[in-house]
């Protein structure tokens, strides 16, 4: 057990996130300043937290031989940082702003050269593809927190309830949607992108699904709308009728999320369908003429080998999705997996790194480009989740939510609205509660939070 002292630090959290990339929680303890004399490591914050973090990084790399590829970055948005570094270099008249940003990522933030290149290439692609958000536009997110079963690794607000509960939820949601739509109209705001997520929104029965999507279209559709995505993650919730509703509502992008094409693993992670259902769902979506289909995959699922992952990649690729999002398995606190093995992500580190490399080179060979990424806590190998797209099919909402330069209005249980103040380049968060029953009970309060925190927020500044 290593004793670590953090001196002059007001909040240990960020430093511990970094320490955990090297040592499991049972391998170290954070001690008070009084224990410095017999501590293994003493780190002193003298005003720049990144310097302390790089000292931690260097010392623990030396101790363990582990060299986390994202260096001292523990946040979820490395591409956003890459963009800030480029813009900062431009402000300082650097001849090659990208090269200057790369140097800073590698030397100051300790990222690997490969990850620095990945983040900077993505930033460049995002700028070329989407640029800055048009004035008075927002992103709209709506959450349907129900799924047919709960996946082993899930930490979302995903509920399995009687359908009458789902309908009760929808009534509360419609009240919030109405309020937001009216508020947006009054302010002259329009949606640039709409994302229906969850949960699995297609858990709704066909008639309710159609009613919901048409309401979304009426309330938030408009000339500025560039993208409308509906998650239909579970193939066993997809029917021709629901796909028709997606088309009728004007959505062009859906997500069908197999995670793996290995039937044994699908069963192990708690899915109620097999890989044949995935193939059928793709065929139906293509017949319906959906323009962009995304497929989510997870690298590092229990008992899977690099060969299994390779098979999944190839099989999914053959189904013809325009987007493929490759996640690194992460062991989240609210998941069932954490109860089985809270250290599983440490064990998977090497394998997941190998799988991600497989994905990167295979998908590049098939014409897909990585266009957005984000990181999470407790990820195997301290890696990242990466969205790949065929050119011209990149997901706008995914880029905006990571870039944080546009207000995102989130409705429904667990929706986290982010109000963006461009003059100060600052965000304020307006959360909804995540429990769907409490959301229904306290819908007036959720609406009031939006009124104060979102629609009245700009008047206060």
**Rounded distance between C-alpha atoms, residue 117 and residue 49, angstroms:** 24
Question: Closest by alpha carbon to 222, among 130, 131, 138, 127?
Answer: 138
Give the nearest distance from C-beta 309 to ligand SF4 in angstroms: 18
Q: Which is nearer to ligand SF4, 166 or 200 (CB)?
A: 200
Q: For tokens 């493929």, what's the residue? A: 324
- How many CB atoms are located within 10 Å of the residue 386 CB? 23
Give the nearest distance from C-beta 161 to ligand SF4 in angstroms: 13
**7 SS3 class:** strand
Q: Which is nearer to ligand SF4, 104 or 253 (CB)?
A: 253
Give the nearest distance from C-beta 233 to ligand SF4 in angstroms: 5
Q: Which residues would be at the binding site for ligand SF4 (CB under 6 A)?
A: 147, 150-151, 154, 156, 158, 198-200, 233-234
**Rounded distance between C-alpha atoms, residue 7 and residue 388, angstroms:** 42
132 touches 185 (CB < 8 A): no
Give the nearest distance from C-beta 71 to ligand SF4 in angstroms: 29
Q: Which is nearer to ligand SF4, 190 or 328 (CB)?
A: 328
Q: Which is nearer to ligand SF4, 163 or 458 (CB)?
A: 163
17 touches 68 (CB < 8 A): no
Tally: H helices and E strands in the chain:
18, 14
Q: Which is nearer to ligand SF4, 151 or 238 (CB)?
A: 151
Residue 379 neighbours by CB under 8 Å, 6+ apart: 328, 329, 330, 345, 352, 385
Residue 76, judged by CB atoms within 10 A of its CB (0-12, 13-18, 19+), counts as: middle
**Rounded distance between C-alpha atoms, residue 74 and residue 140, angstroms:** 27
**Rounded distance between C-alpha atoms, residue 288 and residue 290, angstroms:** 6
**Rounded distance between C-alpha atoms, residue 327 and residue 25, angstroms:** 24
Q: Which is nearer to ligand SF4, 4 or 256 (CB)?
A: 256
**198 SS3 class:** strand
Give the nearest distance from C-beta 257 to ligand SF4 in angstroms: 7
Give the nearest distance from C-beta 279 to ligand SF4 in angstroms: 18
Q: Which is nearer to ligand SF4, 157 or 249 (CB)?
A: 157
Report residue 151: phi and psi, to 5°. -70, 150
Q: Would residue 404 be called left, alpha or beta, if left means φ above 0 and alpha means ψ between -120 and 50 degrees?
A: left
Give the nearest distance from C-beta 261 to ligand SF4 in angstroms: 16
Q: Which is nearer to ligand SF4, 23 or 433 (CB)?
A: 433
Q: Which is nearer to ligand SF4, 232 or 382 (CB)?
A: 232
Residue 76 neighbours by CB under 8 Å, 6+ apart: 374, 375, 376
Give the nearest distance from C-beta 301 to ligand SF4 in angstroms: 12
Q: Which is nearer to ligand SF4, 111 or 330 (CB)?
A: 330
109 touches 402 (CB < 8 A): no
Q: Which is nearer to ligand SF4, 122 or 154 (CB)?
A: 154
Give the nearest distance from C-beta 31 to ligand SF4 in angstroms: 38
Report residue 7: phi and psi, to 5°. -100, 145
Question: In 39-112, which ranges are continuous DSSP H helix?
Answer: 49-64, 78-91, 97-107
**Closest residue to ligand SF4: CB criterion:** 154
Give the nearest distance from C-beta 154 to ligand SF4 in angstroms: 3
Give the nearest distance from C-beta 385 to ligand SF4 in angstroms: 13
């Amino acid at each position: 057990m290593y004793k670590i002292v953090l001196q002059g630090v007001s909040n240990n959290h960020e430093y511990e996130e970094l320490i955990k990339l090297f040592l499991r929680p049972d391998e170290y303890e954070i001690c008070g300043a009084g224990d410095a004399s017999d501590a293994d490591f003493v780190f002193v914050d003298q005003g720049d937290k990144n310097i302390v973090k790089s000292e931690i990084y260097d010392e623990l790399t030396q101790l363990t031989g582990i060299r986390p590829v994202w260096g001292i970055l523990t946040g979820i948005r490395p591409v956003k940082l890459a963009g800030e570094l480029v813009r900062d270099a431009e402000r300082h008249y650097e001849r090659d702003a990208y090269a200057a940003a790369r140097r800073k990522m590698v030397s100051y933030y300790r990222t690997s050269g490969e990850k620095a290149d990945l983040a900077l290439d993505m930033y460049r692609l995002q700028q070329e593809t989407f640029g800055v958000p048009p004035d008075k536009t927002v992103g709209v997110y709506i959450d349907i927190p129900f799924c047919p079963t709960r996946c082993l690794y899930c930490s979302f607000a995903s509920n399995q309830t009687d359908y009458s509960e789902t309908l009760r939820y929808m009534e509360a949601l419609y009240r919030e949607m109405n309020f937001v739509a009216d508020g947006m109209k009054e302010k002259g705001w329009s949606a640039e992108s709409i994302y229906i997520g969850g949960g699995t929104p297609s858990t709704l029965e066909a008639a309710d699904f159609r009613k919901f999507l048409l309401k979304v279209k009426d309330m938030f559709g408009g000339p500025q709308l560039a993208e409308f995505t509906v998650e239909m993650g579970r193939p066993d919730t997809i029917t021709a009728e629901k796909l028709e509703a997606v088309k009728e509502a004007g959505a062009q992008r859906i997500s069908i999320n197999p995670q793996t094409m290995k039937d044994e693993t699908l069963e192990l992670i708690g899915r109620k369908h097999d890989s044949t259902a995935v193939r059928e769902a793709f065929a139906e979506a293509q017949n319906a003429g959906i323009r962009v289909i995304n497929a989510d995959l997870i690298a590092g699922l229990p008992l899977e080998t690099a060969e299994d992952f390779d098979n999944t990649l190839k099989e999914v690729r053959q189904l013809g999705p325009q987007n493929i999002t490759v996640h690194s398995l992460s062991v989240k606190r609210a998941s069932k997996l954490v109860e089985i093995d809270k250290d599983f992500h440490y064990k998977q580190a090497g394998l997941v790194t190998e799988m991600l490399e497989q994905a990167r080179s295979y998908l590049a060979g098939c014409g897909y480009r990585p266009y957005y990424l984000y990181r999470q806590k407790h990820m195997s190998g301290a890696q990242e989740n990466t969205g790949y797209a065929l050119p011209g099919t990149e997901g706008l909402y995914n880029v905006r939510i990571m870039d944080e330069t546009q207000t995102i209005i989130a409705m429904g249980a667990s929706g986290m609205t982010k109000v963006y103040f461009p003059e100060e380049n600052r965000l304020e968060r307006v959360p909804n509660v995540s429990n769907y029953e409490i959301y229904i009970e306290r819908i007036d309060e959720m609406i009031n939070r939006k009124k104060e925190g979102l629609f009245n927020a700009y008047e206060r500044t």
